[in-house]
């Protein structure tokens, strides 16, 4: 249905760390979904940004000998540069140090306080600064006094805190989960969240007095909100919570959060409870993916196993990494790491996939078609045939791809799209137009192949925003494919024929494995 709203978010990333391919993974998926929904004609809003408060940032700044604000400014800029480099088409980039965010956080938590869900208590416990989270004695004992995620020693903290009375939300959350079976995806992650809730929820401390780098508590400015309770609210700040109610009401029902499983508890337990406490609806959809692993371990700053987007986009001779280009980078993460389970990053697999799907399948289709059109049709692309056997394939592929994008399964959506490319190549090989004399048969075969290229140049936009525009141009079409609207533009038979087809350089030069 055209004209729906689609609001998609990534986590806001901490500014103690520079962007690596783990951050890029979530962000590229969000970008691909935003591009798909724009093609559907949906009113789309894509939010990403940076999480800039908390002790972790303060300590990173101190280690770098700069102020927390400077640390935030510098690293936030690195994220924006990284996203520009890989063609991330965000509509808004939020920084939690912006005034608009302070205003929304204060309005939101004041509401929760006024509704009676926050109270002051003394607190002590074992804290992980890298997670910005307290752990229970039991969790600490289980991991020898170390953080279950980072493996670093937990620190003992004691302070007066305001508590969010989360324990009162066990039942309301279970009811919400029962009434919204699709809200958390995939099902395994939903079950994990339900498991956490069923264990019984404890009240949580949401403020600190031990630091100043945070949003002040409006009713007690000696305190600042603990970074997570300011961070989650970014999703409503960006659409006007507390500042533009009409806008907030229009966009909030269509939200799709994307996160990795490391922050499932915050998004699937605390965040829905906070929204209920503020009198708002919990998120419409939370999509949780696994970890991108390197050599069997989660990539992270503490493990020093990070890979950076620019190394893969531009290549890095020192690290023996070939240049995959922007679209080669995006395609790999969308196609090769299915959304949900953990995925192991491997350079060899990335090269193999690039050569098979991009250099061979798509690259070959375009270069063959253009070569034969130049040779046999004086460089003028003929129109497709209404009764082409590829018409049914195209219709089926569209249905599969659309269903897969809808189910947040980019890997399946692209697999379906490449089926059409493979079929078109097989069709060419079966009929070998390069061996035939110019005439109606050659025109028909090439027209069909050009029509496939037209459709693929639209369907592959979410993964290959640059290349699809180039394919569109080379087959002689006007404008850019992102102006097309689905499903109408995917219907067979719209390549008009009579257009100049250009045989240019290889779209994706073949790469050799390191
Ligand atoms: O948690 N595999 O920020 P963060 C897959 N500021 N995804 C990965 C990944 C990996 N190896 N590494 C990072 C925070 N990510 C908070 C979020 S939201 C209100 C606040 C991605 O910088 C993934 O999306 O640690 C993960 O959830 C996120 O980066 C964590 O980013």
Are the C-beta atoms of 397 and 440 separated by less than 8 Å? no
Q: Per-residue pLDDT tens for 6-32?
A: 999 999 999 998 899 999 999 999 999
Query: Strands 5-14 and 43-51, how do they pair?
Result: parallel
Q: Is the beta carbon of 262 within 6 A of some atom in ligand 1?
A: yes
Pick the CATH number of 359-500 from 1.10.10.10, 3.30.70.1380, 1.10.3720.10, 1.10.730.10: 1.10.730.10
Task: Look at the alpha carbons of 455, 458, 460, 465 in this order and tell me if their dihedral is positive or negative.
Answer: positive
Distance CA(435)–CA(386), nearest Å, equals 23
Residue 13 CA, ligand 1 centroid: distance in Å: 6
199 Cβ partners below 8 Å, 6+ apart?
none
Whether 365 has a pLDDT exceeding 90, the answer reads yes
Q: What is the mean pLDDT of residues 399-412?
A: 98
pLDDT for 304: 64
Q: Is the beta carbon of 61 within 6 A of some atom in ligand 1?
A: no
> How far are the Cα atoms of 330, 398, 490, 496 from residue 392, in angstroms, in the given order?
28, 10, 12, 19
Let me know how many helices (H) and strands (E) the chain has, helices first: 20, 17
Q: Which of 23, 28, 104, 108 to mutate to test the pocket of ligand 1 (most atoms within 8 A of CB)?
A: 23
pLDDT for 313: 97
Distance CA(234)–CA(310), nearest Å, equals 27
Distance CA(472)–CA(480), nearest Å, equals 7
With cut-offs at 50, 70 and 90, classify the pLDDT of residue 302: low
Q: What is the mean pLDDT of residues 152-181?
A: 95
- Eight-state DSSP code of residue 339: S
pTM reported for the whole predicted model: 0.94
CA-based radius of gyration for the chain: 26
Whether 353 has a pLDDT exceeding 90, the answer reads yes
Token output for 161? 């805190």
Which of 119-133, 295-309, 351-365 holds the top average pLDDT?
351-365
pLDDT for 375: 97
Per mean pLDDT, which range of 132-136, 298-302, 453-457 is the poorest? Answer: 298-302
The catalytic residues are 20, 23, 128, 131, 147, 150, 298, 301
Whether 514 has a pLDDT exceeding 80, the answer reads no
pLDDT for 253: 98
Residue 4 CA, ligand 1 centroid: distance in Å: 28
Residue 102 CA, ligand 1 centroid: distance in Å: 22
pLDDT for 149: 87
Q: Is the beta carbon of 21 within 6 A of some atom in ligand 1?
A: no
Q: Is the beta carbon of 385 within 6 A of some atom in ligand 1?
A: no
Distance CA(312)–CA(350), nearest Å, equals 10
Nearest CA to ligand 1 atom 16: 13
Nearest CA to ligand 1 atom 29: 23
Residue 262 CA, ligand 1 centroid: distance in Å: 7
Distance CA(76)–CA(241), nearest Å, equals 23
DSSP state string for 19-56: --HHHHHHHHHHHHHHHHHHHTT-EEEEEEEEE--SHH
Q: Is the beta carbon of 94 within 6 A of some atom in ligand 1?
A: no
Atom of ligand 1 nearest to the CA of 231: 19
pLDDT for 224: 95
Q: Where are the beta strands (DSSP E) in 326-401?
A: 343-345, 380-381
Q: Per-residue pLDDT tens for 220-273?
A: 999 999 999 999 999 999 999 999 999 999 999 999 999 999 999 999 999 999
Are the C-beta atoms of 468 and 416 separated by less than 8 Å? no
Distance CA(423)–CA(198), nearest Å, equals 49
pLDDT for 129: 85
Residue 237 CA, ligand 1 centroid: distance in Å: 20
Nearest CA to ligand 1 atom 26: 260
Query: Strands 285-289 and 297-298, how do they pair?
Result: unpaired
> How far are the Cα atoms of 51, 142, 244 from residue 209, in angstroms, in the given order?
19, 29, 31
Residue 343: phi and psi, rounded to 5, are: -135, 140
pLDDT for 477: 98
Q: Per-residue pLDDT tens for 465-478?
A: 999 999 999 999 99
Residue 391: phi and psi, rounded to 5, are: -60, -45
Mean pLDDT taken over the chain: 95
Nearest CA to ligand 1 atom 10: 22
Q: Per-residue pLDDT tens for 27-72?
A: 999 999 999 999 999 999 999 999 999 888 999 999 999 999 999 9
Distance CA(24)–CA(194), nearest Å, equals 28
Q: Where are the beta strands (DSSP E) in 213-294?
A: 224-225, 255-260, 285-289, 292-294
DSSP state string for 97-117: TSHHHHHHHHHHHHHHHHTT-
pLDDT for 2: 44
Residue 342 CA, ligand 1 centroid: distance in Å: 14
Distance CA(28)–CA(87), nearest Å, equals 9
Distance CA(299)–CA(277), nearest Å, equals 35
Q: Is the beta carbon of 231 within 6 A of some atom in ligand 1?
A: yes
Token output for 130? 């890298």
Pick the CATH number of 5-289 from 3.30.420.310, 3.40.309.10, 3.40.50.620, 3.30.360.10: 3.40.50.620
Token output for 27? 């962000």
Q: Is the beta carbon of 79 within 6 A of some atom in ligand 1?
A: no
Q: Considering the chain, what percentage of its residues have pLDDT values greater than 70?
A: 98
Distance CA(77)–CA(97), nearest Å, equals 13
pLDDT for 14: 96
Are the C-beta atoms of 424 and 449 separated by less than 8 Å? yes
Q: Where are the domains of the chain?
A: 5-289, 359-500
Whether 301 has a pLDDT exceeding 80, the answer reads no
Q: What is the mean pLDDT of residues 189-216?
A: 94
């Amino acid at each position: 249905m055209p004209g729906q709203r689609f609001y998609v978010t990534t986590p806001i990333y901490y500014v103690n760390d520079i962007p690596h391919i783990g951050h890029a993974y979530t962000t590229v998926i969000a970008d691909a979904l935003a591009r798909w929904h724009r093609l559907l004609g949906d009113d789309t809003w894509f939010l990403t940004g940076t999480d800039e408060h908390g002790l972790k940032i303060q300590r990173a700044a101190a280690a770098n000998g700069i102020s927390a604000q400077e640390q935030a400014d510098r690293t936030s800029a690195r994220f924006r540069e990284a996203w520009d480099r890989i063609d991330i088409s965000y509509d808004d980039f939020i920084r939690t140090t912006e005034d608009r965010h302070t205003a929304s956080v204060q309005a939101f938590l004041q509401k929760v306080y006024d509704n009676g869900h926050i109270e002051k208590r003394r607190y002590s416990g074992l804290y992980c600064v890298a997670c910005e989270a307290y752990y229970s004695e039991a969790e600490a004992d289980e991991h020898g006094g170390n953080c279950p995620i980072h493996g670093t020693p937990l620190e003992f903290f004691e302070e007066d805190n305001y508590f969010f009375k989360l324990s009162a939300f066990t039942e309301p959350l279970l009811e919400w989960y029962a009434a919204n079976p699709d809200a958390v995806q995939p099902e395994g992650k939903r079950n994990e969240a339900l498991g956490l809730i069923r264990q019984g929820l404890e009240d949580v401390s949401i403020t600190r007095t031990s630091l100043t780098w945070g949003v002040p508590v409006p009713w007690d400015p000696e305190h600042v909100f603990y970074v997570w309770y300011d961070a989650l609210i970014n999703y409503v700040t960006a659409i006007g919570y507390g500042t533009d109610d009409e806008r907030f009401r229009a966009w909030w029902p269509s939200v799709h959060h994307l996160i990795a499983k490391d922050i499932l508890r915050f998004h699937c337990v605390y965040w829905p409870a906070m929204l209920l406490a503020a009198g708002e609806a919990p998120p419409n959809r939370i999509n949780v993916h696994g970890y991108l692993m390197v050599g069997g371990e989660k990539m992270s700053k503490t493990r020093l196993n990070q890979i950076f987007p620019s190394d893969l986009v531009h290549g890095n001779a020192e690290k023996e990494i070939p240049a995959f280009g922007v679209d080669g980078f995006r395609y790999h993460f969308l196609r090769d790491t299915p959304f949900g389970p953990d995925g192991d990053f491997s350079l060899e697999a990335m090269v193999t996939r690039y050569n098979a799907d991009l250099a061979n399948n798509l690259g070959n289709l375009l270069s063959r078609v253009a070569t034969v059109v130049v040779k046999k049709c004086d460089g003028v692309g003929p129109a497709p045939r209404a009764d082409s056997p590829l018409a049914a394939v195209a219709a089926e592929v569209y249905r599969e791809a659309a269903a897969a994008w809808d189910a947040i399964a980019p890997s399946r959506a692209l697999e379906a799209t490449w089926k059409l490319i493979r079929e078109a190549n097989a069709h060419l090989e079966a009929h070998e137009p390069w061996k035939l004399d110019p005439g109606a048969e050659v025109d028909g075969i090439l027209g069909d192949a050009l029509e496939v290229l037209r459709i693929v140049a639209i369907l592959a936009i979410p993964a290959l925003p640059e290349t699809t525009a180039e394919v569109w141009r080379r087959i002689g079409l006007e404008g850019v494919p992102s102006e097309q609207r689905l499903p109408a533009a995917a219907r067979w038979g719209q390549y008009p024929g009579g257009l100049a087809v250009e045989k240019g350089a290889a779209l994706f030069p073949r790469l050799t494995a390191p």
